[in-house]
Amino acid sequence: MKLGLIVRNMGPQSTADTMAACVETAESLAFDEVWVVDHVAIPPDDAEGSGGRYLDPLASLAWIAGRTERIGLGTAILNLPYRPPLPTAKQIATIQELSDGRLCLGIGVGWMRPEFQALGVDRTQRGRLTDEALTAFRRWFSEEETEANGQPFLFRPCPPLPPIFVGGGSDAALRRAVRFGDGWMPMVGDLDALRVQVARLRTFEAEADRAGPPLEIVAMGGLPLHEPARAQDQLGALAEIGVTRFAAGGRYADAKDFEKTAEALRALAPV
């Protein structure tokens, strides 16, 4: 199982100094990936923990790429309906090109009604908009000479499309992962519920007669690191369920606090 850490690109921890220290800690401890999250317009009554401060995830990963050499870079998750597909694809291609192929793209459809309102996007169309963007990404990243809206153009640079991990727990999300994704990216809560969802994912995969390797399971969540034995058991259970990558998240006060969490997780799964 690959292990990664979610770096807070929100709230008071999202300063340049703190984020730099966190990603450098993650790379020095040989974690596989660092992940950042996505919000654009937090309403005042839902700003607890962040104060409404969120750095753009793709800009954050471009900056992180320049401060690191090897560690993978991921979005957990990028809400595709919030963004026009072609400029977003260009940002993704740029990060993938300049980071030497280190990007992983966790994507979702979004959920926060006020955010859709602020962006002027019809929330009821979020699934369709996401599917259209993913369809376009698959085409643009495979054709240097391509088209959009009837206009031919050159999509360069044209690096390999990053692996796409589709978030969400609904049947629609699972089917979207089968249709467009390289994996599924759930939030971990109840392990029994996760087992049921993975079984449904495999059923949809079989029904679609999907070619290629089985979909990866890329789980996000916290671990009871203050109880190492229990945390170790949970990691083992996730591996048994089929989780191939785990992005550990949680609040931390500062870079030192992040380092303690990272060291505790690394002690459970040494390199």
Q: State how far the Cα of 54 lies from the Cα of 38, in Å rounded to an integer.
A: 7
Tokens of 168: 């969400």
Give the pLDDT score at 175. 97
DSSP conformational letter for 20: H
| Contact call for residues 141 and 93 (beta carbons, < 8 A) | yes
Distance, first Cα to last Cα, the chain: 11
List, in sequence order, the alpha helices (H) in 68-218: 85-98, 113-119, 126-140, 171-180, 191-207
Q: Alpha helix (H) ranges present in 29-158?
A: 57-67, 85-98, 113-119, 126-140
Closest CA to 169 of 184, 191, 190, 182: 184
Q: Is 245 exposed, middle or buried (0-12, 13-18, 19+ CB in 10 A)?
A: buried
The reported pLDDT for the residue numbered 237 is 97
Provide block-wise average pLDDT over 10 residues at a time, the chain (271 residues).
98 98 98 98 95 98 98 98 98 98 98 97 98 98 96 98 97 97 95 96 94 93 95 96 97 97 95 79
- The single-letter DSSP state of residue 80 is G
| Alpha-carbon span 268 to 271, nearest angstrom | 10
- Residue 143 sits at φ, ψ, to 5 deg, of -135, 110
| Homologous superfamily of domain range 2-268 | Luciferase-like domain (3.20.20.30)
Specify the pTM. 0.96
pLDDT confidence of residue 246: 98
| φ/ψ (deg, to 5) at 256 | -65, -40
Q: Where are the domains of the chain?
A: 2-268
